[in-house]
Amino acid sequence: MDFRPCIDIHNGKVKQIVGGSLADKNNSAEENFVSEYDAGFYARLYKSRGLKGGHIIILNAVGTEFYNADRSQAFSALSAYDGGLQVGGGITAENAADYLNAGASHVIVTSYVFKNGEINYDNLANISKKVGKNRLVIDLSCRKRNGEYYVVTDRWQKFTEARLCEETLDMFSSYCDEFLIHAVDVEGKAKGIEENLAEMLGKWNKITVTYAGGIGSFADLDTLKRLGRGNLNFTVGSALDIFGGAMEFEKTASYH
């Protein structure tokens, strides 16, 4: 159970936002924290602590006003920590090599595969073949509907018919090296994890899974460790003191 740190970039700045609040209109989001430091600063911090496998997420959509500023920040972080970080946000089969060649260990695929409530299996197969299974992370962010978790698309607003279960995880794992799974309903709120989701993911345990969403205390980490059987990596955003929260970064970095 390892800590996977994050660098979320929105409107050209490192931020922490409330999950589900992101909108392309007016490049808006409900902000928990806006950093005075750039992405390279956080990359160097994570490198100095030997934290590997963290993720950079470009939050502005391709073609929007701040997308190029986000990309510039992402590339500065990759340059600062060659081979230590993953990157997601606007990744396609056509541009993935740009990030890998710039130092990303993996690319994280979202909208290229999951869009308009649908799963594009042709794009999934294409990017997995082009990038290589061992350098691809699939973002299976999910929300609860009728008591079960479903993969969501389009800024986490549209439900797919893909129920997050062992069969779904088995199928997607044939294309990738890792999963990044945001529990969207609690993302950015730091008020506790999605316990049923953590328990299901911990039982599955076939490839590396990083859980994100709701962690606001070390008690939450203890719960995640217990329910996930120690099999889940984790990320903490808004709750960290480096992002304006109360959880000590140094203590979090050493939590196993």
Sign of CA dihedral 233, 165, 154, 94: positive
- pLDDT category at 17 given cuts 50, 70, 90 is confident
Residue with tokens 């956080």: 42
How confident is residue 155, by pLDDT bands cut at 50, 70 and 90?
confident
Distance from chain centroid for Cα 152: 14
Please give the helix or strand (H or E) that residue 82 lies within, else none: none
Residues above pLDDT 70, as percent of the chain: 95
Mean pLDDT of the region 171-175: 98
Model pLDDT for residues 177-235, shown as the tens digit of each residue: 999 999 999 887 888 999 999 999 999 999 999 999 999 999 999 999 999 999 999 99
Distance of CA 61 to the CA centre of its chain: 15
φ/ψ (deg, to 5) at 237: -115, -90
Check pLDDT > 90 for residue 6: yes
User: What is the rounded CA–CA span in Å between residue 115 and residue 167?
Assistant: 21
- Under the banding of pLDDT at 50, 70 and 90, the label for residue 16 is confident
Q: Which two tokens stand for residue 106?
A: 């993996």
The closest alpha carbon to 10, from 75, 78, 56, 77, belongs to 56
Q: Round the average pLDDT of the chain to a whole number and report it.
A: 93
Q: How far apart, in whole angstroms, are the C-alpha atoms of residue 158 and residue 217?
A: 30
Q: In this structure, are strands 142-145 and 118-119 parallel, antiparallel, or unpaired? A: unpaired
pLDDT value at position 86? 98
Which residues have a Cβ under 8 Å from the Cβ of 95 and sit 6 or more positions away? none
Q: How far are the Cα atoms of 86, 134, 176, 250 from residue 209, in angstroms, in the given order? A: 14, 14, 11, 22
- Predicted confidence at residue 24, as pLDDT, reads 57
Please state the pTM of the whole predicted model: 0.93
**Residue-wise pLDDT tens digits, 36-53:** 999 999 999 999 999 999
